Amino acid sequence: MGLLLGFAPFIVFSLLTGISVDLALWIAFAAAFTIAIRDFAHTRILRILDVGSMMLFGALALYRGFIEPMASIQAIRLVVDGGLLAITLGSMLAGNPFTLEYAREHVPQEFWDAPLFRRTNYLIAAVWTLAFAAMSAADAATLFSKRFPAVLDVATGLAALTLAVAFTARHPARVRTSLARRAATHPYD
């Protein structure tokens, strides 16, 4: 649940763009700020996704508000999805997949350095990164080619997000089941 809360600013942005792009950007920034401060107050940790969201939406709100007020929604969406791609890929390249910060809330500390725990988090982070890459590619195709319909862009985004959410929900359970089976059949390994 924590990971999905981390994406709340992006969900808010998506839902409010039909009303006003500027409103969507500012409320997404406020949501990112609120989540980051709330989590920091409880854990004393600033999560990669929270900080990245604050920076992304804050910069975009200022840019759209004061530098380029006519920036199209499609261009803004490309920057938002590309920003998510940069955050998730950057966390993996830095050796700290963004999912680790959420997974550690549900897994005892003694397993945090286990290779399987780290591999599982890299895999989940990679699935999200691929989803954001697909969304960014669809955004770019819609922005730069009139032959790629906006409805296909939206469908691509929904499909990518659905697959990432489903994988995130199911994969850790599969790993736990596999470990339990292995422990039952090979109790002395």
Q: Are residues 89 and 176 in the same domain?
A: yes
Rounded average pLDDT over 56-61: 97
Average pLDDT over residues 127-137: 97
Q: Do 24 and 84 fall into the same domain?
A: no
Give dist(CA 51, CA 20) in Å, integer: 24
Note the pLDDT of residue 172: 78
CB-CB contact of 78 with 149 (8 Å): no
What is the rounded CA–CA span in Å between residue 160 and residue 99? 17
Looking at the chain, the whole-number percentage of residues with pLDDT higher than 70 is 95
- Band the pLDDT of 189: cuts 50, 70, 90: low
Q: Do 7 and 55 share a structural domain?
A: yes
* Three-state secondary structure of 110-162: HHCCCHHHHHHHHHHHHHHHHHHHHHHHHHHHHHHCCCCCHHHHHHHHHHHHH
Same structural domain, 44 and 137: no
Q: What does the pLDDT average to over 114-128?
A: 95
Q: Which amino acid is at 104?
A: R
pLDDT for 187 equals 61
Which residue segment(s) compose the domain that 23 sits in? 1-71
- Per the CB < 8 A criterion, the answer to whether 61 and 29 are in contact is yes
Please say which residue of 71, 97, 124 terminates a domain: 71
- Distance of alpha carbon 96 from alpha carbon 112, whole angstroms: 12
pLDDT at res. 180:
63
Rounded distance, CA 8 to CA 110, Å? 30
Number of domains in the chain: 2
- Give the mean model confidence (pLDDT) for residues 91-115: 92
Nearest partner of 77 among 149, 151, 135, judged by Cα: 135
Whether the Cβ atoms of residue 54 and residue 108 lie closer than 8 Å to each other? no
Which pLDDT belongs to residue 107?
A: 87
